[in-house]
Amino acid sequence: MEKRDLQALTVVLTTEVDLLERLLATLREEQGILVEGKAEKIKQTVENQINLVSKLAAVERERQAVLTNLNRDGRYGKDVKMDLLVEAAGEDAPELRSLRATLREVLETLGAVNKRNGMLIRQSLSYIDRTIRLIAGEDGSAKQYTSNGNLRSVVGSVAVDHKA
């Protein structure tokens, strides 16, 4: 493995780690916003996420180009694996090993935070849906007694003023 190819890979992986950590910070910020119910701030975090994912896609294309160049003679097989590159890196192996570990850790954390955010969003949507159904009287929890003493569910606009 040539030193310049290894340096190019190190630069790309370092950039990728930086972008992933920034994405993680944005997802954690979004999590706080979701917990606090500050819907007006969600748009900005989503725009930040889109921007970061776009940059990550460009870095990923660059990483693929570097890996293709590293494997131009096919010595690493069809798909270049980091384990093989770490073995071939010689004295630079610790830096690649550290980058690989950091990438794994950040990606695992991203997955967990993203899953949590998805759960928070689903809970918020469920709460909003239940609130709307309560206001509209469509949840079936509003009950009235009829003149003969039977209990019936009230369906319709209980709390909505139609005069306006």
Per-residue pLDDT of 104-144, as tens digits, reads: 999 999 999 999 999 988 888 888 888 887 777 666 555 66
What pLDDT is recorded for position 3?
77
Asked if residue 30 is part of any domain, the answer here is yes
Kindly state whether residue 119 falls inside one of the protein's structural domains: yes
| Three-state secondary structure call for residue 138 | coil
Q: What is the pLDDT of residue 141?
A: 59
Contacts of residue 81, defined as CB under 8 A and 6 or more positions apart, other chains included, come to none
Q: Which helix (H) or strand (E) holds 70?
A: helix 39-70
Q: What does the CA dihedral 114, 120, 123, 128 come to, rounded to 10 degrees? A: -110
25 belongs to a structural domain: yes
The answer to whether residue 142 sits within a structural domain is no
Q: Can you give the residue range of the structural domain that contains 12?
A: 3-130
Residue 1 is predicted with a pLDDT of 60
Within a domain: residue 65?
yes
In angstroms, the Cα distances linking 96 to 38, 110, 147 are 40, 21, 80
- Give the span between the Cα atoms of 69 and 16, in whole angstroms: 18
pTM: 0.73
Q: Two tokens at 63?
A: 């990483």
- The answer as to whether 57 is a domain residue is yes
Indicate whether 158 belongs to any domain: no
Report the CATH number that the domain containing residue 70 is assigned in CATH: 1.20.58.300
Predicted confidence (pLDDT) per residue in 24-83, tens digit: 999 999 999 888 888 788 889 989 999 999 999 999 999 988 888 887 777 777 777 777
145 vs 11 pLDDT, higher one: 11
Q: In this structure, what DSSP letter does residue 78 have?
A: S
pLDDT at residue number 28: 94
- Report the number of distinct structural domains present in the chain: 1
- Whether residue 146 is contained in a domain is answered as no
13 CB-contact burial (10 Å; exposed 0-12 / middle 13-18 / buried 19+):
buried
Rounded to the nearest 10°, the torsion over CA 118, 120, 125, 129 is 140
